[in-house]
Amino acid sequence: MKLKLLTFVLMGLVVVPGIRAEQTTKAVAHRGYWKCEGSAENSLTSLQRAYDAGCWGSELDIWLTADGKLVVNHDPKTLDGLVIEKTDFETVTKSKLKNGETIPSLETYLKAGKELKPMILVLELKTQSTPERNREIAQKVVAMVKAMEMEEQVEYIAFSNLVGTELIRLAPNAKVAYLEGDKTPAQLKELGYTGLDYHLGVLKEHDNWIREAHELGLTVNVWTVNKADDLQYFIDHKADFITTNEPELLLDLLKDAK
Ligand code: MG
């Protein structure tokens, strides 16, 4: 009887592989892993900690300085109040993060990330103040990634559709996902995006979008999911990636899901 049951189960796996419903959700540390000793959002420490925790990917935010250089920071201003778009690179990169590190240049950050393969770097290009600067940031980030031969280790995300479509045009083989939440999966597919990366509230409201995106061959990332019940919701709903400030909690839940 037991043998028959086992044979039946094994046949089921062979005939209907989909029935296994393998869990494939991956953890992305939001602005690196910064909720730990000595870390800070978008710091080099947060990148290392994301790797140490075992994250699949680590997200970071990119701005263009007044003199057209790339730096890593979330807010449009530094902690000491400088507007990054209106301040030169040398001054911006002297500004401190909360853990005492200085704001890293994108080049420094990518160099550090390159040592942490196979962890993926999820590059968010922040929306700049003019269309020209939006095109410029897309062009400069793609050029830097190419020059550093890191095309296989990065994915791109943006709130601005102008930035997103520039990235698609400049790096046609790259993975580019849209953040704003105001376009359907079909619209994103039409525009050439490879995925959507939406706020958890948007994906709960449109609870058919994960399935629709997958049917169109798009990936689904969701931000910023921090509570255990929300993390579990998106694991159960088969999000490809979850972006979180609580990567260790997510990784524990993913272990349990296996
Ligand atoms: Mg971000």
**What are the backbone angles phi and psi of residue 199, rounded to the nearest 5°?**
-60, 145
Banded pLDDT at 256 (limits 50, 70, 90): confident
Q: What is the CA(60)–ligand 1 centre distance, in A?
A: 6
Q: Average pLDDT over the chain, rounded to whole?
A: 93
Distance 75 CA to ligand 1 centre (A): 9
State the distance from the centre of ligand 1 to the C-alpha of 34, rounded, in angstroms: 13
End-to-end CA distance of the chain: 27
**In the prediction, which pLDDT does 14 show?**
47
Task: Tell me, in angstroms, the distance from the centre of ligand 1 to residue 41's CA.
Answer: 10
For 113-155, write each residue's pLDDT tens digit.
999 999 999 999 999 999 999 999 999 999 999 999 999 999 9
The CA distance from 183 to 159, in Å, is 11
Residue 227 CA to ligand 1 centre (angstroms): 18
Taking the centre of ligand 1 as the mean of its atom positions, its distance from the CA of residue 159, in whole angstroms, is 9
Using one digit for the tens of pLDDT, what is the confidence trace for 53-68?
A: 999 999 999 999 999 9
Ligand 1 center to residue 61 CA distance, Å? 5
Task: Tell me, in angstroms, the distance from the centre of ligand 1 to residue 59's CA.
Answer: 6
How many A from CA of 120 to the centre of ligand 1?
Answer: 14
Q: Would the pLDDT of 17 be above 50?
A: no
Whole-structure pTM value: 0.91
Beta carbons of 140 and 133 less than 8 angstroms apart:
no
From the CA of 25, how far away is ligand 1's center (Å)?
A: 19
Q: How far is the CA of 27 from the centre of ligand 1 (A)?
A: 15
Q: Please state, for a pLDDT cut of 70, what percent of the chain lies above it.
A: 91
pLDDT at 128: 98
pLDDT value of position 113? 98
How far is the centre of ligand 1, averaged over its atoms, from the C-alpha of 9 (Å)? 44
197 Cα: distance to centroid of ligand 1 (angstroms): 11
What is the distance in A from the centroid of ligand 1 to the CA of 90? 23
Place of tokens 């393998």: 22
Q: Is the pLDDT of residue 9 over 70?
A: no
